[in-house]
Amino acid sequence: MEKVRIGIIGCGGIANGKHMPSLSKLPMVEMVAFCDLIEERARKAAADYGAEGAMVCTDYRELLARRDIDVVHVLTPNRQHSTITVDALEAGKHVMCEKPMAINSAEAKKMLDAAKRTGKKLTIGYQNRFRQECMYLKKLIEAGELGDIYFARAMAVRRRGVPTWGVFLDAENQGGGPLIDIGTHALDMTLWEMDNYEPQMVVGTTYRKLADNENAANPWGPWDPKKFTVEDSAFGFIRMKNGATISLDSSWALNTLRADDGKIMLCGDKAGADLLGTRPNVLRINGEKFSKLYVTEPDLSQGGVAFYDGRGGDRPSELEARMWIEHVMDDTKPLITKPEQAYVVTQILEAIYTSASSGKPVYFD
């Protein structure tokens, strides 16, 4: 396969901000079809990123009917993720679906089953795994530097950062608010670093305390309280089957001066690690040696990470795109974000929402 021919389904913010710019930098890729319910958006995407004569449509099934398309990127609101992904897999396409995998675990399971049934490749867009500091930390953990990781915090906390465009505030289309939007990234990073995907029990709470504030201070402008039908903050306590504990905090609006979005903290019996430094993209390792406590910050500024051909200087979204397309072209190339792992993330998020609604813990088999 010399060129991978890609169809884009959903030409909104995440397509323009992440996927299409990243794919456009790959010489082995052609974006040959663009679909969006708003035809003008699809036409603009085709003009900006498409191959000559690229297809434009408003019905994704027309795109899937093309036999010359190898890969589909599903970049729609959350509710459509499962249906479109399953249809694309059944149509013989490999699929990159933007996070979260689906609005609930039943819909995510349909995606998993379709991938296994068709033999087509499926991945989910968790680009935070591809941050230099996260990939370096992964290597440290694999080398046993932290030992047994028994406590972790996954943080996606914004003091004010409510997305006021698209359907982010719409429970029907999104399935939730900050928990399913940004909390999903922090949880995915944490589970991946720990390599622990066996939850035992979840307790969760969700709040809608600030959403009714009119003319609220917000970097993207005030929101409409009538359209704000999701939570503004959510919190989870997760016990894993091996006894490890994970605390998950997420918010779009929370009265706090400690806003940590896309941050994690891991505590092992040999050392700990976190992304909580005052400077961005800083990995801190802490522990004890020779009866003294220490903190170190690995120098990741030299460009590249040795375990991936020196290309760690790419932006996370670009590295994610490259590794995904390389995997499509060559099975020996790694698939970093496996759908089975994303499925567990969805299960835990759903359990937090269920626990918050029922007031009871949710237990896994």
Q: Are 188 and 99 in contact (CB under 8 A)?
A: yes
Q: Are 257 and 159 in contact (CB under 8 A)?
A: yes
* Report for 97-111, 275-289, 311-325: range of highest mean pLDDT: 97-111
Residue 132, judged by CB atoms within 10 A of its CB (0-12, 13-18, 19+), counts as buried
pLDDT digits (tens, 9 = 90+) for 42-62: 999 999 999 999 999 999 999
CATH architecture designation of domain 129-315+344-363: 2-Layer Sandwich (3.30)
Tell me the average pLDDT of the chain.
95
The rounded distance, in Å, linking the Cα atoms of 116 and 195 is: 22
Confidence band of 301 (pLDDT split at 50, 70, 90): confident
Enumerate the CATH 3.30.360.10 domain ranges in the chain, comma separated. Answer: 129-315+344-363
Residue 73, judged by CB atoms within 10 A of its CB (0-12, 13-18, 19+), counts as buried
Choice between 202 and 306, residue whose per-residue pLDDT is larger: 202
**Which pLDDT score is estimated for 313?**
54
Enumerate the CATH 3.40.50.720 domain ranges in the chain, comma separated. Answer: 4-125
Query: Where does 4-125 sit in CATH, by number?
Result: 3.40.50.720
Identify which of 232, 233, 215 has the alpha carbon closest to the alpha carbon of residue 224: 215
Please tell me the pTM assigned to this model. 0.94
Confidence band of 311 (pLDDT split at 50, 70, 90): very low
pLDDT digits (tens, 9 = 90+) for 335-360: 999 999 999 999 999 999 999 999 99
